Amino acid sequence: MENLVAGDLSIDVERDQPGVLRLVWRGKSNARNPLQVLQPFFAPVIAHAAETKSGVELQFQRLEHFNSSTITSIIQVIQECRTKGIKLAIVFDASVKWQKLSFDALRVFAKPDGLLELRPV
């Protein structure tokens, strides 16, 4: 799996913790159709996580902005991870208003199965 650089957005894949693929988002996700870029990036990440029984952690603290189209891509990742039984953690900066509002809204996808964790820092 390689890092992603697409316009103003970069996502670094870090494997410094056993059993977890950490994806650190930086810059801005402002593409008109981010799904075109993000889906091909996430497909091998999710496949690898399922194969190795690893969790996935999306870290957004260093992301400056994302548009409303990006949230659709994140929801798709949540659904794909749940379907494959992959634990997904979303880490965000609760002191940044747009992050708090955006990620608090995703709590509707949290289920008792514990596969989705929304972690404010």
Burial of 81 (0-12, 13-18, 19+ CB in 10 A): buried
pTM of the model: 0.95
What is the band of 80 on the pLDDT scale with cuts at 50, 70, 90?
very high
CA nearest to 100, candidates 79, 74, 118 = 118
Does the pLDDT at position 15 exceed 90?
A: no
The confidence score (pLDDT) of residue 16 equals 80
At 97, which amino acid appears? Answer: K
> How crowded is the C-beta side of 32, counted as CA atoms within 13 Å?
0
Query: Which ranges of the chain would DSSP assign to H, the alpha helix?
Result: 34-52, 68-83, 97-105
Does the pLDDT at position 90 exceed 90?
A: yes
Question: φ and ψ at 79, to 5 degrees?
Answer: -70, -40
Q: 4-120 in CATH: which number?
A: 3.30.750.24
